[in-house]
Chain A
Amino acid sequence: MQPRRHARVTRDLYSFAFSLVLFCGMVLLLTLRGGGAIGDQAGSSGTTSLAPFYLVNLLLMVFLGLNRGAAIVRSAHPRKALPRNALMLLLAQLLLLPYMTFLIHGTDGGVGRILLLSFYVLLTSTTWLLLGTLLALRRTSSSQSLLLNAAAVAAHLIPALGFHFAPPGLRLLSLVSPIAAISELSSGAAIHESLVAFLFVALVAAVSAFHVVRRLRRSEDV
């Protein structure tokens, strides 16, 4: 009988966790609104805002998703590795729990908004785990792969921001970009805005999951 291995959390993941805690902590410190006289604070923009914290969190988690997606393809049993790596994303996000409990009282977000934002980050990173798997399955060279990943992430983050300047009806489409979505969700988005942000990511995740499972099954059969 093969001994049970507990090394599912790899040393790479610890390195990443270190970066995640460090960078998110730095953003928290930089945007922290401390005590002091109201006259010195009034009108200042130095608020403990949720948006910068969760934007950095999202970017790091997207990179982790891409990284884990490539790891799935490299593993001996990719289909089994898929849920395990998704769980790692959850564990990585849970590392930020001390920051989140701080933010609940430190900002005007409250528990609901913190949970919503954390869930959005987790959903987006899971989507990129699946997209990362699909991109890794193309078996391109490492330099090409790097460029492809960067282009794909940029395509998700930036172009949709242009809809912000569109007529009111089309402006909702800017929430396809996680940057706009995080910004809106952190300042208290309306229900229909939250729905647009979540539904787009969920839709991409569902389509990617379908393709990933089909292609992994095919490659394992081969």
Chain B
Amino acid sequence: MTTQRRGQGRRAFAWVGGLCLLASVMLALVPCVGHGAPTVSAVLGFNQHLHEGSFAPMRADVRGLPSPIRGRLILVQTLGSGWRGESTVTHELASGPIENGTYAATVPFYDATNPVVLRLITPDSQVIAETRLDPRIGRHTHRFAVSVGAEAPPVVDAVPAEPVSLSTDWWSYEGLSSLWVESPLPRAAWNAIGRWVYAGGRLVVFGGDNYLRMDTPVLREILPLETPRLISNGTGPAHLAGHLRSDSTVLREQNGTPLVIHRTLGAGTVTLVTVSSRDMDENAYGPLLGLLQSATPIALSRLAGDSLSATSVTGPRHATVGLLVVALLACVSLGYALHRRQPRLAMVIVSLGIGFLAVLSGFYSFRTNQNRPLYTCSYTFSLEDSFGSVRFGHAWYSLQSMHVALENRQAISEPKLHVQPGADLDSYVTETSLHETRLALASLQMRTADRYGIPASTITLSVGEGWVEVDSTESETYDDAWLLQDGRVYSLPSIAPGVHRHVLGTGQPVDRAVESMGAASAELAPLYGLLEETGIVFEGTWLLIASHRVVSQPSEEVAHSRSVILRAIPGGDHAA
């Protein structure tokens, strides 16, 4: 009996052992099988939350590739629907040798009602791996708050996000109403957040014990306190203290020490809560919540579009074409009249007349029209500071169906299309590679787009007592230029390449200057209104506005191109 039991035990042991061995072999084979099926996955926005119509960060993961392959990682968005018209917008996230790993990018999201497709494709467009993502889960139609390591008050309804999801592109924060931080972040992320704040963002930073891990020179530069230090006296929660900056105000105190300190920075604000969010009473946020309305974003595409709308298109006159019709009819009538007596002469006259009119109408059409199919206008607003940013507004209008290409440069975002309400979306096909963006332009449809970036100075401005020295390394001459400071306008003759010194004179108040400028005021008034509205230009800031126009020869593709640059230089003697 015992021997029989022992035999059964051995057999069971052998079975279990065999099964374990088999399981081990299969587990060992899993990675090999995995290599045979590459996969792609992605996290869109901040923890899958994004604001429709804004830039947002995204991270794509590639797994299961046995070795690097030549290919492209692309994101395909669909705009519209069958009845509104439908277009695809393609973004290239990576190109060349693709290997297993994470690929980060900042892309504009247009229509969160449609799935987004991430594809790994070969150079001949064969799909290796694909995943469909549903952006509806975290879709926001209004800007939303994000908290990183902080416990934001419930009324803010902040989306929690990991520090790793924060992008180093300042424009990736475009869709946020406020950002709440109580976690150490990389220096590049702080830098991007600083630029976003300067451009109109709302940042809330918490002190407390975590501050020691968060402390960086970039954070110190934007905090409302100078030389911040953590004080922990054992009687209450650890709090941050230091010298209040001149542009900062204390919103709330607790036991005689500042609890909530607020600072205006560029067009944005930074609020410091001196204690940890976990030590913060919900009611203490009261005075802060009213200040967290996000700033009005500067949409230069609107200005560019308005400016292009006012531009005149050359075209043939109806009267001239009417004359052509009359001349042709006269020619045929003459042939008819002569036909009975001299049919041969009639034929010759009609043939010569037709030939002559054909040449004439061809010349006329060539001169007045056409062969000038594209009209463009661009506005650039550059804020020169340690947290400076640059914004571009583009507008295109084409007389023909065509494509335009826009170069994608480093530290400048790809263009974000402004989708006109009620527009025919079929014509919004856009392909963005790492090097350029190709936009489809429908005949007689205006398209506008915004881009963001980090400024690269090409014009240097030195302002002294009653004079200004402009050093331009740009190739073109800006015909019209003005300097604005504290509500006064100083007119400059032009900005040509090289170094030129100009006398400033006394200047004029903006209102009077706009009246006396005539045609130029049409440009200056909306610009000044926009800048006042956003508050990005503050006291003491010098603002340079320069305008440049190009009307190309008929043989060239672009008929009419103009660009307007704006450079805001805080203080006086700065690079613009």
Contact = CB atoms under 8 A, between A and B. Distances in A.
A180 B187 CA distance: 62
Given A18-B333, A21-B328, A34-B315, A9 B362 contact: no
B208 interface: no
B325 A38 contact: no
Given A98-B360, A102-B362, A108-B443, A34 B325 contact: no
A98 B373 contact: no
A97 interface: yes
Interface residues of A, number: 42
Contacts of A188: 401
B316 A43 contact: no
B336 to A, nearest CB: 4
B394 to A, nearest CB: 14
A168 interface: no
A17 B366 CA distance: 26
Interface stretch (B52-60, B227-235, B306-314, B539-547): B306-314
B329 interface: yes
A97 B358 CA distance: 6
Interface string B389-430: 000000001011110000000000000000000000000000
A32 B316 contact: yes
Interface stretch (B339-347, B378-386, B491-499): B339-347
A211 interface: no
B198 to A, nearest CB: 33
| Interface core residue of A25, A34, A95, A104 (most chain B CB under 10 Å) | A34
Interface string A92-116: 0011011111111111100000000
Given A11-B339, A108-B399, A97 B354 contact: yes
B375 A98 contact: no
B325 A22 contact: yes
A134 B362 CA distance: 39
Would you call the interface of chain B mostly helix, strand, loop, or mixed? Answer: helix
A50 B458 CA distance: 46
A29 B325 contact: yes
B503 interface: no
Contacts of B399: 33, 108
A21 B336 CA distance: 14
A25 B325 contact: yes
A75 interface: no
Contact of A105 (B313, B365, B397): B365
A32 B328 CA distance: 18
B570 to A, nearest CB: 35
B354 A94 contact: yes
Nearest to B337: A14
A39 interface: yes
Contacts of A108: 373, 399-402, 443
Query: Which of B308, B313, B329, B357 gathers the greatest number of chain A CB atoms within 10 Å?
Result: B313
Contact of B397 (A38, A95, A99): A38
A173 interface: no
B324 interface: yes
A39 B369 CA distance: 18
Nearest to B423: A43
A3 interface: no
Contacts of B354: 94-95, 97-98
A37 to B, nearest CB: 6
Contact of A95 (B332, B366, B368): B332
Contacts of B400: 107-108
Contacts of B350: 95
B355 interface: yes
Contacts of B369: 105-106
B477 interface: no
B467 interface: no
Interface in A1-30: 6-7, 9, 11, 14-15, 17-18, 21-22, 25-26, 28-29
A15 B339 CA distance: 12
Contact of B318 (A7, A32, A105): A32
A143 interface: no
B361 A99 contact: yes
Nearest to A97: B358
Contact of A38 (B313, B344, B346): B313
A152 to B, nearest CB: 29
B317 interface: yes
Interface in A104-162: 104-108
Interface in B422-451: 443-446
* Centre residue among A18, A28, A38, A188 by max chain B CB count within 10 A: A38
A36 interface: yes
Nearest to A106: B365
B321 interface: yes
Nearest to B357: A98
Max chain A CB contacts within 10 Å: which of B357, B364, B369?
B369
Contacts of A32: 316, 318, 321
A39 B324 CA distance: 29
B335 interface: yes
B359 interface: yes
Contacts of A33: 315, 399, 444
Nearest to B328: A21
A149 B420 CA distance: 49
A47 interface: yes
Contacts of B310: 37-39
A37 B355 CA distance: 34
Given A99-B361, A106-B370, A7 B445 contact: no
B559 to A, nearest CB: 11
Given A14-B339, A47-B443, A38 B375 contact: yes
A127 B314 CA distance: 40
B371 interface: yes
B322 interface: yes
A9 B347 contact: yes
B316 A41 contact: no
A11 B336 contact: yes
A167 interface: no
A99 B328 CA distance: 10
A102 B332 contact: no
Contact of A47 (B355, B397, B444): B444
Given A11-B339, A101-B361, A108-B373, 4 more contacts: A9-B343, A37-B313, A39-B310, A101-B359
27 contacts: A6-B343, A11-B340, A15-B336, A18-B333, A21-B332, A25-B328, A25-B329, A29-B322, A32-B316, A32-B318, A33-B399, A33-B444, A35-B368, A36-B313, A37-B309, A37-B312, A39-B309, A39-B310, A42-B444, A42-B446, A95-B332, A99-B324, A102-B362, A106-B370, A108-B373, A108-B400, A188-B401
The 4 closest A-B pairs by CB, nearest first: A39-B309, A108-B400, A25-B325, A101-B362
Interface of B: 308-318, 321-322, 324-325, 328-329, 332-333, 335-336, 339-340, 343-344, 346-347, 350, 354-355, 357-362, 364-366, 368-371, 373, 375, 397, 399-402, 443-446
